[in-house]
Amino acid sequence: TVQFNYHYDQESYVEISDKNLTIPWAITARFQSNQQNGTLVYMNNENDNIDKLIIYFEFNHLMIKHKDLPIIQCENSLSTNWWNYISIYRDTQSYRLYLNDTECGKLDIESEYNDYQLFKTVFIGGVPQNVSEDTQRFFG
């Protein structure tokens, strides 16, 4: 459980190192925000610039960006007044995105050869300024 308050003039995030995700995997979270845009989870393998997984929201829509795959966007809007419960499921054939227990986005993918992904850096709840600039180039 991670709980913290975000202030406009301060960076606010939790950093975890060396996280190995074995496929299939799932990420679930509950959060509240009065912002329209933000980063929820950022994972990066420092040895491979394109092996990034970013779970974020933009204009109150939940999104996922992984590697060079298309962005997965939830068509439903996030609540600005209530808790949002999100789930992301990854198996060898697809990503599935849920908002408040309703599937709102899916991307079918081709199977990868390995059944795990090692992320050297994981940020939860935000990212440092230098990572934020790198993330903008990733979407560029």
CATH number at residue 108: 2.60.120.200
CA atoms of 59 and 119, how far apart (whole Å): 27
Q: Across the beta sheet with 52-58, what order do the strands follow?
A: 14-22, 116-124, 38-44, 52-58, 61-66, 72-77
Cβ pair 39, 70 in contact under 8 A: no
Prediction pTM value: 0.78
Give the domain range for residue 105. Answer: 14-139
pLDDT, residue 115, reads: 60
pLDDT, tens digit, 9 for 90 and up, residues 94-136: 999 999 999 999 999 876 655 666 677 888 888 877 776 655 5
Q: Which range among 55-69, 71-85, 112-126 shows the weakest confidence by mean pLDDT?
A: 112-126
Query: What's the full length of the chain, in residues?
Result: 140
> Is residue 108 domain-resident?
yes
Is pLDDT above 80 for 79?
Answer: yes
> Is residue 5 domain-resident?
no
> Is residue 31 domain-resident?
yes
> Is residue 38 domain-resident?
yes
> Is residue 132 domain-resident?
yes
> Is residue 8 domain-resident?
no
In the chain, the number of structural domains is 1
pLDDT, residue 111, reads: 64
Arithmetic mean of pLDDT over the chain? 79
> Is residue 46 domain-resident?
yes
Cβ pair 32, 125 in contact under 8 A: no
Q: Where are the beta strands (DSSP E) in 67-130?
A: 72-77, 84-90, 94-99, 102-108, 116-124
